[in-house]
Amino acid sequence: MNIEEMTRKLQTYLREASGPELRRKAELACEILQLKQEKNAVILAHNYMSPDLFYSVPDFTGDSLELSRKAAAADCDVIVFCGVEFMAETAKILSPDKTVLIPAEKAGCSLATGITAGDVRRLKAQYPGVPVVTYINTYADVKAECDVCCTSGNAARVVASLDSDTVIFLPDEYLGRNVARGSGKRIIFPPAKPDSAAGRMIGWHARCEVHEQFTPEDIARVRAGYPDVAVLAHPECSPAVLDAADFAGSTSAMLRYVAESKAPRYLILTEAAMCENVAAAHPDKEILPLCRIRCPHMALITLENTRDALKTGRYAVEVPEEIRRRALRSVERMLAIG
Ligand code: 13P
Ligand code: SF4
């Protein structure tokens, strides 16, 4: 694609951008496409990338589950992961022979830093024999201590697949509470002991710093002004928020919901860049702007540092082989469940 074509493409998504701004972004995007070809690279981008990046250079966009599948199947020498560190690390776990680059070295996640491998070892000693499910928003050494991973798109399925009434579910407190409710389990938190073998989930107190900010009162205020609004929430939001919403699902499930629904307006309780991407793709639908909270980690990834990653080979993600092998088991078990 040449610069003029890219400028026209971006114009359809970035309707408020000025001509010179569009041109500059198009030049950058074309430089990235050229470098991608030279390096035999594939760009994977999470749904939380800003519209200029999301709609220009990725080979694949998606939620955590879809992107791990793409990382496992990628036929290339280099994967550039436009997302946060745990996502790039998952790609490296699945594709150890490929170079995996993340454009911003410090793109973390409050859930991933909310639990350590030592915490998991202590939990296993405290609750011997109880299978451990870990959300994919964790680092490789934590995945290595667990039995199986899950994402927001398959958490309930993964828990249901285990041959055990009691399950340790880490580290997202709200996702744990939401999955427990859906699967008829009662959630407890350490050091509480399960009082019977049946139907217990042992949770952890980490939270997503974006999704924990949404409240049922936000929803009530918006519904009062717009009775025909459809409210969508990510399952990292609190159970009270999910109760007040019309739909809960992974980032891609929410994208599909908006595409397939006939509602005239939407409140999407998730990261702000995704709301912008939805608004850009559906000019006929109104995306209400309550959700202007950006994930500070996702926001570190830009067209500029994606170009620099391809140019300079930074920042290469590495996972020690002994940890990678054990973490791989948890990720592969999840992918087999689907
Ligand atoms: P998804 O897997 O739903 O894309 O969520 C990833 C994430 O980090 C949500 O905050
Ligand atoms: Fe982590 Fe929340 Fe950012 Fe997702 S939005 S990467 S869960 S901090």
CATH assignment, 112-207: 3.40.50.10800
Q: How far apart are alpha carbons 332 and 200 in whole angstroms?
A: 25
- Grouping H, G, I as helix, E, B as strand and the rest as coil, residue 174 is helix
SS3 content of the chain, % helix, strand, coil (to 5): 45, 15, 40
Give the Å distance between the CA of 312 and the centre of ligand 1: 28
Mean pLDDT of 286-313: 95
Q: Which ligand is nearest to the CA of 152?
A: 1
Predicted pLDDT of residue 74: 86
Domains 3-108+299-312 and 112-207 share a fold: yes
Predicted pLDDT of residue 28: 98
Cβ-Cβ contacts under 8 Å for 250 (sequence gap 6 or more)? 63, 64, 65, 151, 152, 153, 234, 235
CATH assignment, 3-108+299-312: 3.40.50.10800
54 and 61 in contact (C-beta within 8 Å)?
yes
Q: Which ligand is nearest to the CA of 248?
A: 1
Choice among 17-31, 115-129, 282-296, 299-313 with the minimum mean pLDDT = 282-296
In the DSSP assignment, the letter for residue 299 is G
Pocket of ligand 1 (CB under 6 A): 47, 63-64, 137, 151-153, 208, 234, 236, 250-251
pLDDT at 229 over 60: yes
Q: What's the whole-model pTM score?
A: 0.95
Q: How far apart are alpha carbons 215 and 233 in whole angstroms?
A: 11
Give the Å distance between the CA of 208 and the centre of ligand 2: 5
Q: Which ligand is nearest to the CA of 212?
A: 2
Beta strands in the chain (DSSP E): 41-46, 60-62, 78-82, 99-101, 132-135, 148-150, 166-170, 186-188, 200-202, 229-233, 247-248, 265-269, 286-287
Of the candidates 315, 273, 287, 335, the one whose C-alpha atom is nearest the C-alpha of residue 45 is 273
Give the Å distance between the CA of 198 and the centre of ligand 2: 32
Predicted pLDDT of residue 198: 65
Indicate the class that CATH gives domain 211-294: alpha beta
Phi, psi values for residue 262, rounded to 5°: -100, 0
Domain spans of the chain, in order of start: 3-108+299-312, 112-207, 211-294
Q: What is the mean pLDDT of the chain?
A: 95
Confidence of residue 278 (pLDDT cuts 50, 70, 90): very high
